[in-house]
Amino acid sequence: MHDIINAILLGILEGLTEFLPVSSTGHLLVGERLLGLPDNKWESFTIIIQFGAILSVVAVYWKKFWDVLIGLPSKPEARQFTLNVLVAFLPAAVLGATVFKFLKEYLLQPSLAMPVIGACWVLGGILILILERAAPKPRYTDGDALPLAKAFQIGLCQCAALIPGVSRSGATILGGELLGVDRKAGAAFTFYLAVPTMLGATVYDLYKEWHNFSGSDTTNIAIGFVVSFIVAYVVVKGFIGFVGKYGLKPFGWYRIASGVALLAWLYLG
């Protein structure tokens, strides 16, 4: 029963933070530490349930994905959309596979990751506040039809999120803004890009870490997966509207406050 409660709590945390520019990985690692779950099994658990949150994107944008799928043989815009997502996905896929062992042994270990997460939360929050003011006037307002070069550049920005505490959505949305992509368009493209990115991360982690799981873990994974899907579905439905109205500044202040609190807990507690 205790593990089931942990699975529910981590599922809620994942669903709330996956698409907000606050770093879901950072929050999950801190959550593991607070719950006393430092072992490899739970680290892999949190990566797997992230795909539950990603499926919420498919559920919200199912018509878009379906139209692209059936339009691939005949519609140039469907092929361009697919190419954009795949090209943006490649940088993080290649780099992630290259540094996977290092990440698992060092940066994704809760005890080692905490100072990095705290520092990244603070620095990321400051960058959000600065870049929200410095971003150029948007030239690209349709996240479904970005130029291929812009999609690739946003994919490069996503690589920064391999560091725990650096938000994937924050890196891609802010990076897009600096590249002239409208904030709401960048948020939409971030959602599309999340599907292959997190599917790849989940499959690769399962392949590498399957030996850490036993049959008794299936229930916990299923519960965390479902909970993260439900919570993330609600977040996805409201996020683009919120960002379009308020920008990313509220998340910048949240990151700074959370980072300072985490560092104070680590070094002064």
Residue whose tokens read 């996020």: 239
Whether residue 140 contacts residue 146, with contact meaning beta carbons closer than 8 Å, is answered with yes
Quote the CA–CA distance of 137 and 144 in Å, as a whole number. Answer: 19
> pTM value?
0.88
Domain span at residue 260 reads 2-268
Whether residue 247 contacts residue 31, with contact meaning beta carbons closer than 8 Å, is answered with no
Sequence letter at residue 213: F
Q: What is the DSSP letter of 67?
A: H
pLDDT tens track, the chain, 269 positions: 578 898 999 999 999 998 899 998 889 888 888 888 766 667 667 777 888 888 898 999 899 999 999 999 889 999 999 999 999 999 998 998 888 777 777 776 666 788 999 999 999 999 999 988 888 888 999 989 999 999 999 999 999 988 889 999 999 999 999 999 998 899 999 989 988 988 887 787 777 666 666 666 778 888 999 999 999 999 988 887 888 788 889 999 999 999 999 999 998 86
Q: How many domains does the chain have?
A: 1
